[in-house]
Amino acid sequence: MGGIDTTTTMAKKCCKGYTRKSTDYGCPKEVHLQSLNNTAHSLGLQQFLETAHSVDLTDDLVTGNFTVFAPTNDAFSEFGQDMGSVLIVSDSMIEKLTAKVTGVMLGHLTTDVITTSSMHDEQLITTLSPLNSKIRINFYDNTDTKVMLANCQRVTSADNMATNGVIHMVDQVLSPVTKSITEIISKDPNLTYLKTALGRTALSSALREDGHFTVYAPTDAAFRQLDGGVLDRIFNQSTCLKEVLQNHILPNVICSAAVQGPSRTRNLLDTYLYLTRDEDDKLFVQDHQVVASDIMATNGVIHLIDQVLFMDRAMGVLDIMNNQVPALLDLVRRAGLENDLRNAEEVTFFAPTSEALSNLNPAVLDALMNDTTALRNLLTYHVTSGVNPAKLFYNNQRLSTLNEGKEIRINTYSEMRHESPRYAQCALIVSSSARICNGVVHFVDQVLTPPSGSIMHTLRQDPRFSRFVELIRLTNLEQRLDEDDPLTVLALTNEAITNLPEDIVDALRKNNIRKIEKLIFANIIPRTICCKAIQNWFVSGISYLRPINGELLTVSSMYGVTSIGRATVTECDRTATNGVIQVVDGFSTRLNRRRFSWWRYL
């Protein structure tokens, strides 16, 4: 009604004194019912009855109406050495222990008559315990038969009806549950690291509130197994610490009895944890052993584990670097940046691959190794603040680096028929790490060189382009090439200009402004075009570019030769703050384009 879907569940049950099989119509079979006391006797719950008698509950089990979760005889015999004699003869024991037994027994009773047909998963049943403890009901369907658990203890026989209630038999005595997960961890001397970790995040408060959680709690010994640097990083970086903890927490209750074979469940990071039980009945999570299970809390359950559930997200930038490009880590250390990157929070690192480092000019590398300031400036240009995942990159995005705010320009190209590669300062981003402890790492296929200035500034600083700069000045484009709008300039060296065709050389010699404008305008494209992008375009069928004069320039890239119009690229991707310079051997257009005429064939 009103566009809102609702689900109504209707449960039917037999009237008191009648029962049925699953194939029966209605409840045709009459059952002779007895009091709870006599029903317990018929079920062989002798220890339960003797304990009830010792704390004066026998009359209540005859006259009152209750749901009873009654432990088996074996369960009572296993219940605490300090309680053993009290269960048999309580009169001779001190009053404190008698009160404790009474509390435990009342923690198995509730005044409502609740059969399994009216129970649901994660239901909390309030008991008569003076400690106000509750029994948590869970159902699991991962085995041939449906498993029902009460406080993570198996219900071995359910719905044993009596004239004044119902008995569900459990295979363990249910200790009163009075503390939240946070309170239990805070009181455990073997969980001090976890207590500290939770206290540094909002998770401590969350695990104190009502809910349905499972916590795989690493012991102090588990935390001490971690490398000291890793441990320090986790505890000193709040985002990382929270994610490490969330990896150990499930948003639902998973008791140990629910795991009978290989299974998986999602944690608070919405990633899977894999659970299994081996042939020796040992329980494991992510191949790490559960050393103590089913510690019940008011808002869930705790299982102790012998190792921290480490994952990629707990790794830092330096860990990724050490695993993937150890030579880069050596440079970071030489530049004195190791501690900065270890302690940094929320950074993006554009890491040159091993091949990119090996392709670096040996003379340049030697100079960097002997000048730590220059090396530091180069490496900090590869680091930006904030976490910038590749999937969120967009064309002409600019990211401020730690090198005095100098920017890295991101380029993507929507013309691609398939998913567009992404480029950082025209270096191809070949792969990216998953979100890690203090950021993300993108691997690039070349070392990123900080641009010295705008396109115009870069051309002015290089004497090889002095004649090309003069031509730009003649066309009044100098200011435009200094502005922020992204451009690609196809720049000719002095040598290339000398080798131009005679008609172009003649126009340049005569300072023919109209013709010079035609040539220069055709060599300026109003967007950033990287060499590798042209190569990918050509493979994908993209065959033209449009410079600022509106003309269409054909592009091609074959056998390592990239051409734009009539110009061939001789040097790729000299990046600037406002775009990129592609060094070419000529102008991309003709001065005098021959026009096709049908009159010649008439």
To the nearest whole percent, how much of the chain has pLDDT over 90?
69
Write the pLDDT tens digit of every residue in 276-335.
999 999 999 999 999 999 999 999 999 999 999 987 777 889 989 999 999 999 999 999
Is the domain of 430 the same as that of 468?
A: no
Q: Confidence band (pLDDT; 50, 70, 90) for 600?
A: very low
> Among residues 249, 284, 312, which one ends one of the domains?
312
Give the strands of the sheet with 153-162, arranged side by side.
109-110, 66-71, 165-170, 153-162, 147-150, 134-140, 123-126
Residue 599 pLDDT:
41
Report the alpha-carbon distance of residue 16 to residue 461 in Å, rounded: 98
Is the domain of 272 the same as that of 148?
A: no
Report the alpha-carbon distance of residue 84 to residue 76 in Å, rounded: 8
Residue 28 lies in a domain: yes
Q: Confidence band (pLDDT; 50, 70, 90) for 1?
A: very low
Report the alpha-carbon distance of residue 247 to residue 44 in Å, rounded: 44
Residue 55 pLDDT:
87
Is the domain of 321 the same as that of 382?
A: yes
Under 8 Å CB-to-CB from 546, ≥6 apart: which residues? Answer: 525, 552, 553
Write the pLDDT tens digit of every residue in 56-91.
899 988 889 999 999 999 998 877 544 544 444 444
- Over residues 333-344, mean pLDDT: 91
Report the alpha-carbon distance of residue 344 to residue 450 in Å, rounded: 21
Q: Which residue has the higher pLDDT, 361 or 600?
A: 361
- Residue 54, pLDDT > 70, answer yes
> Among residues 287, 312, 337, which one ends one of the domains?
312
Residue with tokens 């923690």: 107
Residue 501 lies in a domain: yes
Is the domain of 193 the same as that of 290?
A: yes
Is the domain of 483 the same as that of 564?
A: yes
Residue 437 pLDDT:
82
Backbone angles phi, psi at 534, to 5 degrees: -60, -40
Backbone angles phi, psi at 567, to 5 degrees: -100, 140
Is the domain of 439 the same as that of 498?
A: no
How many structural domains comprise the chain? 4
Residue 236 pLDDT:
82
For residue 236, give the amino acid letter: N
- Over residues 33-40, mean pLDDT: 92
- Checking 279-286 for CB contacts under 8 A at 24+ apart, the result is 283/256, 283/259, 285/216, 285/309
Residue 595 lies in a domain: no
Under 8 Å CB-to-CB from 342, ≥6 apart: which residues? Answer: 229, 233, 316, 318
Backbone angles phi, psi at 601, to 5 degrees: -105, 5
Report the alpha-carbon distance of residue 253 to residue 248 in Å, rounded: 13
Q: Which of 470, 492, 460, 463 is nearest to 576 (CA)?
A: 460
Are 588 and 490 a contacting pair, CB within 8 Å?
Answer: yes
Is the domain of 124 the same as that of 66?
A: yes
Residue 81 pLDDT:
45
- Residue 498 is classified by DSSP as H
Q: Which of 196, 201, 187 is nearest to 231 (CA)?
A: 196
38: three-class secondary structure by DSSP: helix
Write the pLDDT tens digit of every residue in 519-556.
999 999 999 999 888 877 655 555 788 999 999 998 88
Are 427 and 444 a contacting pair, CB within 8 Å?
Answer: yes
- Over residues 3-7, mean pLDDT: 63
Is the domain of 336 the same as that of 219?
A: no
Write the pLDDT tens digit of every residue in 445-489.
999 999 999 999 999 999 999 999 999 999 999 999 999 999 999
Are 148 and 141 a contacting pair, CB within 8 Å?
Answer: no
Q: Confidence band (pLDDT; 50, 70, 90) for 216?
A: very high
- Residue 18, pLDDT > 80, answer no
Report the alpha-carbon distance of residue 20 to residue 29 in Å, rounded: 6
Q: Which domain holds residue 321?
A: 315-444
| Mean pLDDT estimate for the chain | 88
CA 310 to chain centre: 13
Is the domain of 340 the same as that of 388?
A: yes
Are 557 and 535 a contacting pair, CB within 8 Å?
Answer: yes
Range in 30-34, 58-62, 505-509, 522-526 with the lowest mean pLDDT: 30-34
For residue 125, give the amino acid letter: I
Residue 590 lies in a domain: no
Residue 135 pLDDT:
96
Residue 5 lies in a domain: no
- Over residues 552-579, mean pLDDT: 91
pTM value is 0.71
Helix (H) or strand (E) holding 289: strand 288-297
Are 540 and 523 a contacting pair, CB within 8 Å?
Answer: no
Residue 215 pLDDT:
98
Residue 101 pLDDT:
85
Q: Confidence band (pLDDT; 50, 70, 90) for 96?
A: low
To the nearest whole percent, how much of the chain has pLDDT over 70?
88
Is the domain of 281 the same as that of 325?
A: no
90: three-class secondary structure by DSSP: coil
> Among residues 144, 170, 196, which one ends one of the domains?
170
Is the domain of 22 the same as that of 165?
A: yes
Both tokens assigned to 159: 């719905």
CATH number at residue 269: 2.30.180.10
Calculate Rg over the CA atoms of the chain. Answer: 38
Output the 3-class SS for 572-595. EEEEECCEEEEEECCCCCCCCCCC
DSSP 115-148: -GGG--TTEEEE-S-TT--EEEEEEE-SSSS-EE
Range in 9-13, 125-129, 380-384, 510-514 with the lowest mean pLDDT: 9-13
Are 31 and 161 a contacting pair, CB within 8 Å?
Answer: yes
Task: Give the residues across from 292 on adjacent strands.
Answer: 304
Residue 591 lies in a domain: no
Q: Which residue has the higher pLDDT, 591 or 178?
A: 178
Is the domain of 27 the same as that of 153?
A: yes
DSSP 295-361: EEETTEEEEEESS----GGG--HHHHHHHH-HHHHHHHHHTT-HHHHHH--SEEEEEEPHHHHHTS-
